[in-house]
Structure 1
């Protein structure tokens, strides 16, 4: 997976999916799929035109590419950092799984914001990225003051013989699938809804750092995770999880506690993310873990004593094992 922040560094020619794609949910995937499909179709057409005795086609293969903006335009204009469902490392991993081979992060600045719709397509997409196809959502807006829409893009691109696919709004049980809807579900602890809209489990990815080792004293050693500062956090509480250890590729099961630990730190304001892995006692400090949130067990709560907290953790573990059909 190639990630570049300059069109000069990009592999061309391209077949592009264009948008912000935070979360890469099921609706986003409908926009991304045509970029991959066009690449495959183009390759098959070129290959089919050759006689078996001829040399391979000289036309360069199209690179299936996602083009997005960094920072998000709303963040640029408001000056407020945006919490992301998929910070860059997670976005790269999901896009690679879908079949995207290149991610172009266009630096969103005043110069880019000032481009007219025509200039954006001709100068960025056609001239610099040499795109042969563009895929967008029907509600995509672009160019100076968001003056261009999907219909405009298709009309302008036609003048450059660039094919455009416009994906309709994708709905789940009548409701539009959107990053905002996923955020709302996560904040409310509606994990099943959020995962259904995403088309996969919501994940937290971070490095294991040293903590206070209180979990070990309670009989439940935990790995403390340091997440990206831009990561969007779901509702505080306890989750049943699957954990992938990056270096070994191992998958483990466990529970995750997200919150300010009111029982042991009543005045804490910054949340911690702690994972207890079932039947696992190896040292993993410095490891990168990807944690899939599978079940929301309960909200964060304060207990009268460490003994009551310990008893509740036993209950949380037992419930998670039952939900996951573990022995």
Structure 2
């Protein structure tokens, strides 16, 4: 994928505009329409996306939990067939721009000849425009506007990034995998912890998530796959929570991963964690022996699931 700069705007393009956070099945349906229309019209499929979430500008101070980092988003867009991507900073200037001015900017600045619009996607400060209005404005400015139909899923009536976020907080990682077309994952850096897991016979790597406001699923224990910096992929159990048995219920949330049948120094390295199944809620045990016994059961359960 090419990231377009102000000096690289000459190829005729067909564009779709959006955050595309998580690049879920609904997004990929829109991208399929974009790529097919591009093939038919002889235009290069291009995505116009934003470095920061528009909600942070519309509602200053609000926190948006992201499903993917910008780098991961661009990689997934490339895998979906997108040739080029324009990454913009969403600011007050863009927020106040009319739909017509936005279309003209893409036409003149990035050689956009056509646009594919999602059924509920809006651009421009006007809130009362319907599809006919976008088509009319586009026709007047020499940009064809194509409407993509709504994607429907068996897993849920509505496929959206907000739905995915809600399901992740509810531990529904299986349903999320259906909506994303892949397991939800986060990248993290291994940092130093208390090393208590090693004393229990279950060494853990403490993970610090990479990415601004990346969403961490609801507290509890998960079966997971851990992909290390050398590319190797391992079965794992992952705990997210306060570690009430050793730290108390009011301690900060920790992310700890025990990589099954692995022993090595991972400090300072990065890994990707794929959430495969929710095993149980976080529990407080009477002591370390009871905790150790439960960890053994968690590993057994994960091994049965991660075939």
TM-score (norm 1): 0.85
Range moving further from structure 2, 91-100 or 286-295: 91-100
Cα contact 1:235–1:299 (8 A) shared by 2: no
Counterpart in 1 of 2:280? 298
- Give me the whole-angstrom Cα distance separating, in 1, the residues matched to 2:9 and 2:232: 33
- 1:159 corresponds to 2:137: no
Counterpart in 2 of 1:29? 28
Q: Structure 2: state its 5+ residue gaps.
A: none
Distance 1:12 1:225, change over 3 A: farther
* SS of residue matched to 2:221: strand
How far is the alpha carbon of 1:112 from its aligned partner? 1.4
Deviations 1:225-259 (A, max 9, x none): 1113411121111111112223x222111111111
Distance 1:165 1:252, change over 3 A: farther
Counterpart in 2 of 1:52? none
- 1:279 corresponds to 2:261: yes
Counterpart in 2 of 1:46? none
* SS of residue matched to 1:20: coil
Distance 1:10 1:202, change over 3 A: farther
* SS of residue matched to 1:196: helix
Cα contact 2:9–2:111 (8 A) shared by 1: no
Counterpart in 2 of 1:56? none
User: How many corresponding residue pairs?
Assistant: 303
- Give me the whole-angstrom Cα distance separating, in 1, the residues matched to 2:107 and 2:256: 47
Deviations 1:277-296 (A, max 9, x none): 11111222222211111111
Distance 1:154 1:243, change over 3 A: farther
Distance 1:10 1:314, change over 3 A: farther
- Give me the whole-angstrom Cα distance separating, in 2, the residues matched to 1:263 and 1:295: 23
TM-score (norm 2): 0.90
* SS of residue matched to 2:113: strand
- Give me the whole-angstrom Cα distance separating, in 1, the residues matched to 2:58 and 2:184: 28
Counterpart in 1 of 2:113? 132
Range moving further from structure 2, 203-212 or 267-276: 267-276
* SS of residue matched to 1:176: coil
Deviations 1:96-150 (A, max 9, x none): 2222243322222221112111111012x10111113322211111112434444
Note the 1:61-72 alignment, pairs <5 A. Answer: 63-72=44-53
How far is the alpha carbon of 1:321 from its aligned partner? 0.6
Range moving further from structure 2, 202-211 or 12-21: 12-21
